[in-house]
Amino acid sequence: MRRTRITNRLENRTLNEMDLARRLGLFDATMIVMGGIIGAGIFTNPYVVAQQVHTPLLILGAWAVGGLIALAGAFIYAELSSQVTASGGQYVYLRDAMHPLVAFLYGWSLLFVIQTGGMAAVALIFANHLFELIGARSSEFSAALLGSAALVLLTVINCIGVRAGSVTQNIFMILKLIAIATLVILGLLIASPAHNSTTTSISSTATTWQSLIAFGAALIPTQFAYGGWQTACFVAGEVREPRKNLPRGLLLGVIGVIVVYLSVNYVCVHVLGADALAQTKTPATAVMRLALGSKGARFIAAGIAISTIGFLSQSMLTAPRVYFAMAEDGLFFKQLASVNRARVPAFAIALQGGLAIVIALVASKYEQILNYVVSVDVIFFGLTAVCVFVFRRRGGAGREVRGASTLPNGRVSDKTFRIPGHPFTTLFFIAACCVITFSLLYKFPLNSGISFGIMFLGVPAYFIWAMRRPDR
């Protein structure tokens, strides 16, 4: 009875969302995918990868494998979003395919680990590059303070309803692309290549098991940088011919990002070398300094800082859609489903911003936050991929879709997309999530243990809210 009421509310929301104007074409879908992925991680994470694997080939290999994982995940979310168009994304998939408890743990983790931790990490990237821009020396604590100040400012701005419009967001995207293109071109044409004589001897002493563990750990920062393709599920109801344009947009967008990321990393390894790359927290700035001196360093630092703020501001209102769905199901604070006079979810934004500030101050090291976020995030990525098998079984195992498909609630959808190479593609993604999770637990047990502990605290919280729910 309880699940029936939840499903009825879901159907009402879905019917409304199916009336959205389909104005997004293939180019729009591709730009949405690329814009959701390319943030600030690509300017910073190359050094984190280089700390785990010590040869140029393995560094580039980690980014290539990370891209393949993102591509497989994009296909999975394309199928799920073509069948379920209700607000809430992963929360809705997990709730309908598995159990409300699993979905609640995802939303709980999103608020206390994934989204807030990601915001804290991006805020630290902004702080490090701003210090680089002004030529000031920074410590981990000073970077945490500056990053927290940026989070406070952006939280207040979003709460009072001052949001960047589409023109502003396009400007931020253009700045990112200009910064990346400048970095790659000047790095190849002007900067002198580095020598990597020491990395080979270091890597040769490692056993096969140690190399595999190191490579798995190197996939952690790549997955953080490639994250964002899953947000395509929010625009499925507004894409023209979604069965054709959405998967093509996902394919083109993710492949485009893979090309961009491999180019940036090739330039970083080519110019700095694997050893020097592992020792600088601002590799893009270091490359530009070698190419054009201090002017080049300030140019790229300014571009990164501005694009980071734009990406951070844009991401602040994404997660509250999950909190809305949870609150409407009676499984979270009812204030999270409310909006203020400016018609923004001020309570959810303020809570999310406050938690992000706490994480930035407590875990002031970027690498710590990275491990803290990804360890739980990949768990729910893998579980969401399992939803594909559940939904397909309910609609008829192995049945080819011709024009329409049956949704889990019995309605018919005209927006169905099928994962190429399923089940192998889906199993590859699930296996990759398991490898990354194991590597995190093995190499970073403390940070992973903290994030898993917070996630499991959601179990008693779920039953408390479930008992208090009016329709119980």
Residue 213: which pLDDT band, with cuts at 50, 70 and 90? confident
> What φ, ψ does residue 239 adopt, rounded to 5°?
-100, 130
Give rounded-to-5 percent helix, strand, coil for the chain.
Answer: 75, 0, 20
Residue 44: which pLDDT band, with cuts at 50, 70 and 90? confident
Most confident option among 81-95, 156-170, 386-400? 81-95
110, burial (CB in 10 Å: exposed 0-12, middle 13-18, buried 19+): buried
pLDDT at 210: 74
Most confident option among 136-145, 268-277, 324-333, 337-346? 268-277
pLDDT at 45: 87
Q: Which has more confidence, 96 or 372?
A: 96
Question: pTM above the 0.85 mark?
Answer: no
Residue 298 in this model has a pLDDT that exceeds 70: yes
pLDDT at 40: 73
Residue 65 in this model has a pLDDT that exceeds 60: yes
State the average pLDDT for the chain.
78
- Give the residue among 216, 261, 269 at the shortest CA–CA distance from 57: 269
Per residue in 440-463, pLDDT (tens digit) is 888 888 888 888 999 999 999 999
Q: Which has more confidence, 464 or 191?
A: 464
pLDDT at 166: 46
Per residue in 384-437, pLDDT (tens digit) is 999 999 998 887 323 333 333 444 444 434 456 788 889 999 999 999 999 888
Token pair of 215, please?
A: 């490579």
pLDDT at 161: 60
Cβ proximity of 369 and 171 under 8 Å: no
Q: What is the mean pLDDT of residues 166-175?
A: 63
> 144-153, 210-219, 396-405 — which is least confidently predicted?
396-405
pLDDT at 205: 55
Q: What is the mean pLDDT of residues 80-85?
A: 73
Q: Which has more confidence, 16 or 285?
A: 285
Residue 230 in this model has a pLDDT that exceeds 70: yes
Region 2-468: CATH code: 1.20.1740.10
Give percent of the chain above pLDDT 70: 79
Q: Which helix (H) or strand (E) holds 412?
A: strand 412-413
Ranges of each domain in the chain: 2-468
Residue 202 in this model has a pLDDT that exceeds 50: no
Question: Who contacts 239 (Cβ-Cβ below 8 Å, separation ≥6)?
Answer: 22, 24, 25, 28, 29, 245, 246, 249
Would the CA dihedral through 409, 412, 418, 423 be positive or negative? positive
Q: What is the mean pLDDT of residues 236-252?
A: 72
